[in-house]
Amino acid sequence: MASSRDRQRKLARAKLDRQLARRAAATRRRRQIQAGVGAALILVLVVAGSAWALGAFDSDPKQNTAAQDTCLWTPQDATANTNLKDVGTPATKDLPTDGTRAMTVTTNQGAPITAELNLTNSPCAAASIAHLASRSFYDNTKCHEITAEGALRCGDPSGTGLGGPTYSFYDEELPTAPSASPAPDQPPTYPKGTVAMVSNPPGSNGSQFLIFFKDFTTAEPKYPVIGRVTGGLDVVEKIGALPTVDNGTGAKVKPSTDVTIQSLTVGEPVTAAAPAPSASGTPASSPSAG
């Protein structure tokens, strides 16, 4: 028969085992809770990181729309330059940036002059001209200058060379300057039929444009190219041959006969069509020169 002391030892041992078991269970529960909290924290960090990358925490989402703007129109002060005409400003974004737009200039000098405005290289110039044309900005205005470079200058309702809309925009497609020793077959900086913007000072384009009626090469290109003539170049050449008279500032550049733009229109954007595949499914080859 077990002694009283043995029974006490067994009871103490059983009590200690129970305490150890409770401690072990508590430790397991604590570790499970910590593991759950850690997993939840990792999930929160992943979700927050994804939201940050997508811009969810930007203080003002509207501030990010500037990167989407296609063009920037700089306001001009019509009180400082009374030759400016306010007809609003074009849109700043979601403008066409591929293909061409047809421009038709009807003058009092013969058949209409047609041109293609290059949307890929000069989307802002095309957008500006289209906007101004939609406001009849060019209608019944005079081409006030035949330049020494061999171009007809138009697009200033005031006829002073200082007029335009109440905004300006930057140069887009300036030609590359010719090399110091140009090759005999190097093309001119501004081939005949080129349509380009012109401004004073350069780089602050508005409404005025040039149509070149002869080739022109310069070591310092300053007229951004916006397109090319597709029809009526003979009319431009005829106008370029007109005698010139003093424009009132001592420069003999004004056509002796008024050259009036009766209307200027711009068509809808046209995207260049991809070449049609041949019957075999391969691209059709270009015809050889005859």
Please say whether the beta carbons of 259 and 239 come within 8 A.
yes
| Segment 185-194, tens digit of pLDDT | 889 999 999 9
Residue labelled with tokens 């400003």: 89
Query: Looking at residue 116, what DSSP letter applies?
Result: E
Cis before 123 (ω within 30): no
Average pLDDT of span 210-216: 98
User: So what's the pLDDT on residue 44?
Assistant: 52
Distance of CA 137 to the CA centre of its chain: 22
Could you say which DSSP state residue 280 is in? T
Question: Band of the pLDDT at 5, cuts 50, 70, 90?
Answer: low
Decide if 252 contacts 246 (C-beta within 8 A). Answer: yes
Which position has the higher pLDDT, 122 or 19? Answer: 122
pLDDT of residue 12: 58
Higher pLDDT, 200 or 52: 200
Is 89 within 8 Å of 109 (Cβ atoms)? no
- With vertex at residue 207, the alpha carbon angle to CA 124 and CA 63, rounded to the nearest 5 degrees, is 40
Measured in degrees and rounded to the nearest 5, phi and psi for residue 250 equal 95, -5
Query: What average pLDDT does this structure show over 158-179?
Result: 94
Full-model pTM: 0.72
Q: What secondary structure does DSSP assign to 51-109, as a single string?
A: HHHTTTT-S-GGGGGGGGBS---EE--TTT-TTEE------SBS---SSEEEEEEEETT
Interval 7-63: pLDDT, tens: 666 665 665 566 666 666 666 666 666 666 555 556 556 555 555 555 555 544 444
Mean pLDDT for the chain? 83
What pLDDT does residue 288 have?
A: 42
At 55-94, the pLDDT tens digits run 555 544 444 444 468 899 999 999 999 999 999 999 998 9
Give residue 184's pLDDT band: very low, low, confident or very high (50, 70, 90). Answer: confident
Position 8 scores a pLDDT of: 60
